[in-house]
Structure formats: C-alpha cells, structure tokens
Chains A and B, each alone.
Chain A
C-alpha cells in the first residue's frame, strides 16, 4: 500500500534531542501514522531522514537551527492531522521550556556571568556542535563533561590537550556517566559515598561497579568518566592520566578502580607506569583481556564483578545468592537448542557476558566483540551464542539509547522467544538518573503471554535502592514476570552457564 510523506519546517525552532524523540514516538503512535521523526536539521539528521525515506523530495531546505517535522502515513488527511498534532505539541513544549527560570542565559558566557562560581559544564548538544561548546567552556575555566557523541577524534585530542594546558578535566566525549562528590552527572546512579574512586572509559561499566559497591555496603568517592576513546593511541590516555593525578591527590579516595575495554598497548604501558608511582592501591579491569601485568600496588580484574569484589574486602555481592541452586530449580524447556542470545543495553555488560561465555569454552559472536569473539557478520547463522550490544551505533542512529527507550530490544526479544535454537536469553536492565522510568515494567509487558516452552530469561538490574526506579521494585517486577534475576551481570552469566551445563549433563547421560 502506498504511503504519504509530509514535511514541515520550523525555522529557528530548537528543542533538545530527548524531548524531540519523545514527541516523535507520541506522533508515530497515532492511528495511520507509519513513521514520524522530529529532528533538528543538522547534516547528520538530514541523512537519517533521507535514508528513512522521510523527506518529500529527497532533501529539505533547512539548516541546523531549523526543526523538521517528517512523517509517513497511510494517506494525506492522516498525515496532515498528525502534523497538526505535532505542531500543537511543539508549541506546548516551547511554552513549558524555560518556564522554571525567570531568566535563562543563552550562552556559556552569559551563564558564567550569572554563576561565577560554576566549575563544570555538562555538554549534551548535538555532536556537530559539541566541540565548539566544550572549547568555550574550557576558555571560561570550566571542567567539562561531554555527554555528546559523534565528536571527531581530532577534536577530542585538541580539546583534551587544551584542557590539560589549562589544568581542567575534559571527561568524554560520549561520556555517559560521572559522579563528582555527591553530583551524579548524566546516566549515573544514586551511590553511597565511600572510599573507592573510579576511572571509567565505559559508562555502563562504571555504573555496574559503582552500584555493586554501593549495594554491598561500600561506596564511591568520585567516578571520573574519560570517554571510550581516551585509551586509544590517538588520544594517549590524557584524561585517564589526569584522573589518576586527581584521585591520587584526593583525600576522600583510598583506592581506585580503572575500567576500560582493552587499551592500545603503548597507552596501557604509560597508564600502568603512572599507576606504579601512586601510593594508593589500584584495581585494573581491561575488560576482554584475560591477564595483564600490573604494578605491585595494583591487581588485575578480568570482569566488572571481579573489580568490585577486589575492592570490597570481606563484603559480598548479592549475599546469599546461589547460582547452582537456582540453575537446579530452572531447567531449559524440552525441545530447545543450547544457544544463548544476549540482548544488552550496556556495552560493557555485553563485553563482560562475552568474557564469561568465551572462557566457558562456548562459541560466541557479537556486533561488539571482545578479543577472541567472532564478529557477528562472520559468524555462521544459527550457530553458537549471539551477544548483542543494542546501544551500538547501528541500533541507535537517530534513536535514543536503549537505556532511555527500552523498546529497541522488543523486536529482538520477541524473535528470540520464538526461536527454538535458543535456550537462554540473557539481558540487562540499567536504571538510575537519565534512564527509562520503568524498564522492568516495559519488559514484563513484552514477554507476557510467551509460550510455555519459551527460552529461560536470565538478567540483572544495574542500579541501587536509592535510584528513582528503586532497584528492588524493578527486580520484583521482573521476577513476577518469570525472569531469573541475579545480583550482578556476572552472576546472571553464571546462572545461564549452570543451566546449560545441566542440559548438557542430561544429554550426555542419554547418549
């Protein structure tokens, strides 16, 4: 059936990307509307609209400070009615926006004049403009956290060099999580304060470790995000090295955990040599590497849970949890294959799951593989475990991250539930500031009414009791929906492996 595409441009009208994505979803849900997108007309967004076939003539006369409303509907009257609703909603949003402040500065310079003692800029503008704003912030003497992604590595390097010259910390870009003192910045959790400093090149890795520490009774002094590329050769670990200096000098920090995907070997050497000079103990977690030679004052942890465990002393993660007992109570339904399908919102949780499965001798492929795991395209379809990072660019282009919009997982989850090759679905829920208000409730709706012989669903909730979503409530919702919930992502993997070992044992016994 043919569809009708309709575009409208609002010149000089700006709303932030999360507000626009929410509106896009509301409009797309109207009857007869097949797709709707409200986006600022930046070059990247215009390409997304073009690729999605949402532009009337293949292009649109609009610039980065103009808003495009684009939709595809069953017919013209439906499209026009939906457009009317979209414009009405935009006007409503604009009226609300800024209503909480009598006067709102329009630039960093004006904001600094109004708040002379401000010390940090949190930047989450579209990637094309983020470097320019970060540069302005540095020149006003502000430390910077760049939440924005799609910043070139050349810009990242020059910004970090400038920050270093000015004695300022540049966290990011693509820095999802940081905690400075009692300030949770962007996607962070409400963590107890304590003696452990975290340096994280990974947002969800930092969230998992900080939550495990907090829930086990310890706490975090500061969590400094450095951005996923900081330990690449091109950037040379500039922010990581500055963060080590900062935490070494910080009286509230007694020990430090460093979390990253495997760094460039030269950068790893530089960072480990700097750690060797520290008077504080370090735990190094380069997730995906099995062993790393670390200095005498450091220990190596191959997984996030090991990293948390290393600094917890006698405290236990998920006290009383027994993976074997749980696995013994929950077998895989008869007639199922033995594959694991991992559907992860957190990139580092996805990496951690791969490490567990790979080390258990399983054949694993992923769209974001750790060393030793096959790239998804090269894997034989239907063979081995498939562990997906649903927050990767190919899933989130023009869409919010699955932590904000868990529906990205829905289709893959429904497909996996029907796939008889799959024995276990492994997944994560990440709560906290910035995240969806009820990801467990959303998931429970999606899996409700699944067939009795559907794969087992095993997961974990990264979060704390003090988070707005309240971890125990999320866990209860999942358990009531029949999901096996472990205290950590690592323990969820452990349960999955034990369940499958039981299946293998039964198969062997019958052979």
Chain B
C-alpha cells in the first residue's frame, strides 16, 4: 500500500487557480463571478458515446 514516495507536487496552492471546466456549464458563471479565469470545454461524449472506447482512446493518449 502506498509505500511509494510522493513526488513533489507541481505548484497549485501558491498559484492562482486557472480552471478548465469539463462538464456542468453552471460552474463557469460561478467561478467567473469569483474572479477565477475559466476556459469551458464544449464537451460531448467521445467515441460515439461508447464509454469503453472512450476509456481506451484516453489510455492510448488519443
């Protein structure tokens, strides 16, 4: 179980968060209202909507 040493975390907490939002569009307005930069992805199910194929393509880096 998690004997591996954690790698040093890439900066997140000390930096200003800049968000890429993938999914619920409602989050975009709320984040922008708080002054957070957001890029919204007009997402739709990949691989013709086949979750297994989508998972495989993601693993292959497609």
Contacts and interface: CB of A to CB of B under 8 A. Distances in A.
Contacts of B36: 182-183
B17 A119 contact: yes
Interface in B42-62: 42-46, 48-51, 54-55, 57-59, 61
Contacts of B1: 233, 236, 266-267, 270
A318 interface: no
A334 interface: no
A118 B7 contact: no
A266 B48 CA distance: 42
A132 B10 contact: no
Nearest to A12: B44
A263 to B, nearest CB: 12
Contact of B27 (A112, A124, A139): A124
B30 to A, nearest CB: 5
Contact of B45 (A42, A139, A190): A42
Interface string B4-18: 101111111111111
A510 interface: no
Given A167-B10, A242-B9, A182 B35 contact: yes
Contacts of A64: 45, 48-51
Interface in A34-64: 40-43, 63-64
A48 to B, nearest CB: 15
A222 interface: yes
Classify chain A's interface size: 35 or more
A124 B24 contact: yes
B22 A164 contact: no
Interface string A92-136: 000001101100111110111011011111111110110111011
Given A164-B6, A183-B17, A237-B2, A123 B23 contact: yes
A42 B53 CA distance: 13
A144 to B, nearest CB: 10
A245 to B, nearest CB: 5
A344 interface: no
Contact of A238 (B2, B21, B28): B2
Interface stretch (A15-23, A307-315, A353-361): A15-23
Contacts of A250: 13-14
B23 to A, nearest CB: 3
Contacts of B7: 164-167
A66 interface: yes
A250 B11 CA distance: 10
Contacts of B48: 63-65
B60 to A, nearest CB: 10
Contacts of A129: 45-46, 51, 54
A186 interface: yes
A241 B20 CA distance: 25
A31 to B, nearest CB: 29
A167 B15 contact: no
A18 B61 CA distance: 29
A378 B2 CA distance: 37
A106 B14 CA distance: 29
B2 A137 contact: no
A485 interface: no
B41 to A, nearest CB: 5
A157 to B, nearest CB: 10
A322 B1 CA distance: 47
A143 B12 contact: yes
B20 A108 contact: yes
A197 to B, nearest CB: 9
A184 B38 CA distance: 12
Contacts of A128: 51, 54
A101 to B, nearest CB: 7
A300 interface: no
B24 to A, nearest CB: 4
Contacts of A119: 10-12, 15, 17-18
A185 B30 CA distance: 9
Contacts of A253: 13
Contacts of A241: 2, 6
A142 interface: yes
Contacts of A433: 27, 30
A184 B30 contact: yes
Contacts of B15: 119
Contact of B40 (A63, A101, A135, A184): A101
A18 B25 CA distance: 9
Interface of B: 1-2, 4, 6-28, 30-31, 34-37, 39-46, 48-51, 54-55, 57-59, 61
Which 8 interchain pairs have the tightest Cβ spacing? A64-B49, A124-B23, A65-B49, A132-B58, A128-B51, A63-B49, A14-B44, A236-B2
Given A118-B18, A186-B27, 10 more contacts: A12-B44, A43-B51, A65-B48, A106-B44, A119-B10, A125-B23, A137-B20, A180-B12, A246-B13, A250-B13
13 contacts: A16-B24, A16-B26, A64-B51, A120-B12, A120-B17, A122-B19, A122-B22, A132-B58, A141-B10, A148-B23, A167-B8, A168-B9, A245-B9
